[in-house]
Structure 1
């Protein structure tokens, strides 16, 4: 009887270890995938931020050009 329990216990332990390894591997894979997704998202965010900065610089240049043109008109009218 004790021998039978020992075999059952060993089989249960073996199955438990196998399941723990499977869960561990799946967890590691999920974490790796999450990190890859995070890296891609961060790259996309940086690209968007870069585009926003470029657009803002263009807007600022256009405002400066408009202001310069307005100032020239005002100076011409004052003369």
Structure 2
């Protein structure tokens, strides 16, 4: 689930989806809705055709939060620089 397995395609693994979120949002502060829409647009533009549900997207956000890479501040997702991660 977090990493690709026999049942989870590489482009749907939570680490991959988390990376796609970071790339799609260009590490700019965005709302959750904006991040979701940008991710769907990015996946379409880059031919990632595996279906992605909103709850799977939410799990990827949870993983990024657990890794200390994002935080929620006043309804905005704030992406932390690698140097900021403790």
TM-score (norm. length: structure 2): 0.20
Higher strand proportion, which one?
2
Highest CA radius of gyration, 1 or 2? 1
TM-score (norm. length: structure 1): 0.22
Higher helix proportion, which one?
1
